C-alpha cells in the first residue's frame, strides 16, 4: 500500500473510532433509550460524517451487545440485561476479579498508593450520590462520576495483577461491565455497602494481602445478590 493509501486508512479508522466513542457515550449515559431505533442516516447527519463510519461503529457496538440489528429494520438500542445475562456477567466478573486480586497481592505495597487514591475519589463520589438521593434528584453527571470512580478502583487491581490476559479478558467485557454497574446502583444503601466492601479490599491489601482475593469475591458476590434481588 502506498503512503497516501496508509494515511487515508488511518484517517478512516480514526474517524470510525470517534463516531464509535460518541455513540457509546450516548448509549451509556441514557441519551438514547433501550429499544430506540438508531438510524444510520440520522446519526451521520447529527455527527456531520458520512454513513460509512456510523455503520462501522454500529457493527462494533453490536458485538458488545449494546445494540441489536434486525433484518430490514436496522439497529436499535439493546433492551436492559435480563436476570440470566446479569447472573452470567457477574459470574465472569467474579472469576476474573477474584483471581486478579489474588495475583496482585504480592504487589500490594506497589499498588496501595494508587488504590488509596482511587478509593478516596470513589468515596467522595458516593457522598454526592447519597446527597442527591436525599434531596430527591440525582443528576446524570453525579452517577457517571460514581461509576467512573468505581471502575477506576477495580482497574488499579487489574493493572497490578501482572497478567495481561486477565486484564484483556476483563477489558473485553467493556461496556457490559458499565451496564452491570448501572443495574447494581439501585439506591443509597447500595452505594454505602459498595464503599464499605471496597474499604475491606483496601484494608486487606494493606494488612493481609493474601485475603484480598477473598474480599474481592465477597464484594462481587454481594453486588450480584443486591442487583438480582427482586428481579
Q: Over the chain, what is the mean pLDDT?
A: 87
**C-alpha cell read off for 109:** 505495597
- The residue assigned the cell 493509501 is 5
What pLDDT score was predicted for residue 8?
42
Cα torsion 195, 200, 201, 207: sign: positive
The pLDDT-based confidence of 85 (bands split at 50, 70, 90) is confident
What pLDDT score was predicted for residue 144?
79
Mean pLDDT, residues 160-173 = 90
What pLDDT score was predicted for residue 4?
45
Q: Which of 11-25, 63-77, 81-95, 180-194 has the lowest mean pLDDT?
A: 180-194
Contact 167, 174 (CB under 8 A): no
Q: How confident is the model over 96-135, as pLDDT tens digits?
A: 999 999 999 999 999 999 999 999 999 999 999 999 888 8
What pLDDT score was predicted for residue 140?
72
Percent of the chain with pLDDT over 70: 89
Q: How confident is the model over 171-206, as pLDDT tens digits?
A: 877 667 766 666 656 678 889 999 999 999 999 999
What domains sit in the chain, N to C, each tagged with a CATH number? 3-77 (1.10.10.10), 83-228 (1.20.120.530)
The alpha-helical segments, DSSP class H, found in the chain are: 3-28, 40-47, 51-64, 83-104, 108-135, 140-159, 164-184, 188-207, 212-228
Mean pLDDT, residues 132-154 = 86
What pLDDT score was predicted for residue 227?
85
Q: Sort 66 into a burial class: Cβ within 10 Å, 0-12 / 13-18 / 19+.
A: buried
Which range in 15-29, 58-72, 110-124, 166-180 is most confidently predicted, on average pLDDT? 110-124
Give the residue among 17, 26, 22, 95 at the shortest CA–CA distance from 60: 17
Mean pLDDT, residues 7-32 = 76
**C-alpha cell read off for 85:** 445475562
What pLDDT score was predicted for residue 9?
54
Res. 10: pLDDT tops 60:
no
Amino acid at each position: 500500500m502506498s503512503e497516501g493509501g496508509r494515511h487515508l486508512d488511518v484517517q478512516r479508522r480514526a474517524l470510525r473510532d470517534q463516531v464509535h466513542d460518541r455513540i457509546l457515550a450516548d448509549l451509556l449515559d441514557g441519551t438514547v433509550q433501550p429499544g430506540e431505533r438508531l438510524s444510520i442516516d440520522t446519526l451521520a447527519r447529527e455527527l456531520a460524517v458520512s454513513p460509512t463510519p456510523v455503520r462501522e461503529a454500529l457493527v462494533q457496538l453490536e458485538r458488545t451487545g449494546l445494540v441489536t440489528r434486525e433484518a430490514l429494520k436496522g439497529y436499535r438500542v439493546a433492551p436492559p440485561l435480563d436476570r440470566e445475562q446479569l447472573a452470567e456477567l457477574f459470574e465472569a466478573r467474579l472469576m476474573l476479579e477474584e483471581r486478579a486480586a489474588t495475583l496482585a497481592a504480592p504487589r500490594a505495597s506497589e499498588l496501595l498508593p494508587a488504590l488509596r487514591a482511587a478509593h478516596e475519589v470513589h468515596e467522595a463520589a458516593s457522598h454526592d450520590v447519597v446527597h442527591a438521593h436525599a434531596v430527591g434528584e440525582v443528576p446524570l453527571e453525579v452517577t457517571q462520576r460514581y461509576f467512573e470512580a468505581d471502575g477506576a478502583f477495580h482497574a488499579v487491581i487489574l493493572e497490578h495483577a501482572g497478567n495481561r490476559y486477565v486484564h484483556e479478558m476483563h477489558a473485553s467485557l467493556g461496556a457490559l461491565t458499565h451496564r452491570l454497574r448501572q443495574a447494581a446502583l439501585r439506591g443509597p444503601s447500595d452505594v454505602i455497602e459498595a464503599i464499605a466492601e471496597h474499604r475491606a479490599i483496601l484494608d486487606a491489601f494493606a494488612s493481609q494481602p493474601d485475603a484480598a482475593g477473598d474480599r474481592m469475591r465477597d464484594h462481587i458476590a454481594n453486588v450480584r445478590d443486591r442487583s438480582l434481588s427482586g428481579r
